[in-house]
Chains A and B, each alone.
Chain A
């Protein structure tokens, strides 16, 4: 097992590998009482089109999430019941990129770990459970329809992306949910719920060697498929999909989004973490609470709330402005103007780095946080990033200026959700 030193924070993450290809990451801490275990499958809502042995397959939107729901069914009951009998808690979630099965426990870690691996890796599907689950998931989808921010988020993604599947709902819509069948679910399970396409994260009060032994023993007795699939993504155009979209929803003040779509190709020679850090620093320097821009917008009542964030959607970056405003056109005019006359201050840059270092130290405290951090490293970079602190030391204001020069800020889209009449 590899012991990876996380530089500058006095922490270690252990990395192990099972013979069948399952990767295991462990962060031990004697300061906590509980342990958080996640088994993650690198299969999410955007992976609906794939090729196996030369044969192309397409499953309905929402299949990853549907499988996550029904995966808890077992031959002798449901996984929740078993975990509860051990005094543990369990849940799962599906993102664009992956599906995560989680267990929280303070004791019986070995039993929990074995059962998590067993219930996720063992196929057990029938038509009845699929029909039963449709009613529940349709209600989950409808709950989302009542949430303005969820609806706006996906409608906005449809403005940014023409083809790339992040524009589709993770649950699928009602029709898509109802179209999912047992073959779709089995197809996904057989091809993606395989050890080489999974990774286990254990964070908490554990001994890394013991955990690795338990996992290896569990995996050695199983006959599991090899990973032979190839994900197919449609080619996404450089340009935003729609320049403007107006919608209506459960809001009292128009909910607005303005987005700039940024191709990854323009940063080819850069490490993606460096690009993300620079973009986030840029957004923070120009548009966060420490900026004149945001203070002016809020104090002059042009917007009631205002935020700017950077999204990394696998194929593109995007800079997204979100605000509630009765005067969206004016706000957008000001954003455009700010991006035409960019002023970057070195003192500001250095202060933001300093505060980020404090945040980074604090990340290694809660078992959930560290677990999600590891998940992010593996999903985004396929490795543990041990030199984040070095990156903070390396970046500088000139580097930021060079990055920003490459961006075409005119590749933008504008979305408004107006109140219902």
Chain B
């Protein structure tokens, strides 16, 4: 595997050249600080840009072109990293060595660039028919959150804990916010992205990096800009007391979220030691403390897990259960966290957690997406590369884990209580 970076005035091209994969992935990444309601627009924008363009003005034309290019998969991928909005255009396609047509790679790159620089525009705004299709799709995403107890409870919990901070700027907002977006305002957002966003292109696969650089120079006609670095971290305020919030909804199960603030972490703690702590407590699958305690020993749930929002300094434990078991589960979860704070876990468990995390890094080296993501985070946040990460994990000590556990402070216990009596349904 060989990494090369080509710096240009408007963008950087990062190529990870490897013959390990039969497919190639290109991610064209635009980044900016997220502003309120802009997340929705950017989600719609990357969808619109990958749905149609001037040369392929209907979804049908686009899909036919994708099939002609040997089932080129192209889609918009909006996401958030702390303070940052990521508006990505992604393409997955078969490596050119399997294709007899000589200009295949050029066809793919020129097609991708057409999507970005030649969108379907009428009178300085996006085409209304296709705009409406995109709008209906995002509305469907927004209502699907409302109909999923786990996602809805997480959204409501974050809305309560992170009032006014960028953590609460969701990509799938409420329907009113979506309705305010117009073909004109979305087009303005597009122009703003082209004009001001930081841009990087990441490629992984069996491709000639020099050829690729020449192709992007030819087709990727972005105006020059200052490609600066961002402060990724959201400063979410701590709470002096534990807030307890309970809301009711139409669901069968109750979704419980316990949200912790995390006191300042060092880079080593955030990137290396926290995953070991989390593995032992909640993310280590079937052997972690929470799973063993709440599910295996007490049969209170099917699903329990934890999430580390590293750029929001939050840690969330989430479980779906019966309402009657809620209080018992809360006290068991608190007991598990207390045990972590008091170092009640064996050296053997620490070593197993480290070994399993290292093995999962080894496995992730079999995935082009994981390798590419690691290079992205190494570039934007100096996260160690996978091989270095493996070495660092071995240095994590019992004290590191206890220190991290003691940096957690409960902010809010949020529960979305399922009101539906199951017997009424069957």
Contact = CB atoms under 8 A, between A and B. Distances in A.
Interface hub of B21, B67, B426 (most chain A Cβ within 10 A): B67
Interface stretch (A156-164, A264-272, A299-307): A299-307
B253 A142 contact: yes
Contact of A298 (B133, B284, B302): B133
A52 interface: no
Nearest to A364: B22
B214 interface: no
A87 B23 contact: no
Contacts of A358: 70-71, 94, 98-99
A87 B59 contact: no
Contact of B143 (A31, A252, A301, A362): A252
B287 A80 contact: yes
Interface in A346-399: 351-352, 354-359, 361-362, 364-367
A51 to B, nearest CB: 31
Contacts of A351: 64, 67-68
B407 interface: no
Contacts of A324: 140
Nearest to B63: A289
A80 B98 CA distance: 41
Interface stretch (A42-50, A132-140, A210-218, A329-337): A132-140
B270 to A, nearest CB: 24
A84 B354 CA distance: 11
A140 to B, nearest CB: 4
A365 B418 CA distance: 43
A87 B357 CA distance: 8
A301 B132 contact: yes
Interface in B55-109: 58-60, 62-64, 66-68, 70-71, 94, 98-99
Given A84-B352, A107-B359, A351-B67, A146 B366 contact: no
Contacts of A289: 59-60, 62-63
Interface stretch (B29-37, B144-152, B226-234, B337-345): B144-152
B94 A361 contact: yes
Given A84-B356, A104-B363, A135-B300, A362 B23 contact: yes
Interface string A162-176: 000000000001100
Given A85-B352, A143-B303, A253-B143, A105 B359 contact: yes
A147 B148 contact: yes
A81 B299 CA distance: 18
A106 interface: yes
Nearest to A291: B60
Interface in A114-163: 132-137, 139-140, 142-143, 145-148
B322 interface: yes
B67 A32 contact: no
Nearest to B93: A358
Contacts of B149: 146
Contacts of B146: 252
B133 A299 contact: yes
A406 interface: no
Given A139-B301, A145-B252, A146-B418, A355 B67 contact: yes
Contacts of A91: 285-286
Most chain B beta carbons < 10 A, residue from A78, A132, A134, A299: A299
Interface residues of A, number: 66
A142 B251 CA distance: 10
Interface string A314-342: 00000000001000000000000000000
B301 A362 contact: no
Contact of B58 (A104, A174, A295, A304): A295
B180 interface: no
Given A84-B352, A87-B355, A250 B251 contact: yes
Given A140-B302, A146-B252, A355 B70 contact: yes
B224 interface: no
A259 B109 CA distance: 40
Interface in A24-46: 31-34
B59 A365 contact: no
A411 interface: no
B425 interface: yes
B20 A420 contact: no
B129 interface: yes
Given A90-B286, A252-B143, A295-B59, A33 B362 contact: yes
Contact of A84 (B66, B287, B303, B320): B287
Contacts of A251: 147
**Top-4 shortest CB links A-B:** A135-B299, A289-B63, A355-B71, A358-B70
Given A143-B303, A251-B147, A304-B137, 10 more contacts: A87-B358, A135-B299, A252-B143, A289-B60, A295-B60, A299-B59, A304-B139, A351-B64, A351-B68, A355-B71
18 contacts: A34-B363, A80-B286, A84-B287, A84-B356, A104-B363, A136-B295, A145-B253, A146-B252, A147-B148, A174-B422, A290-B67, A292-B60, A298-B133, A299-B130, A351-B68, A361-B98, A366-B366, A366-B367
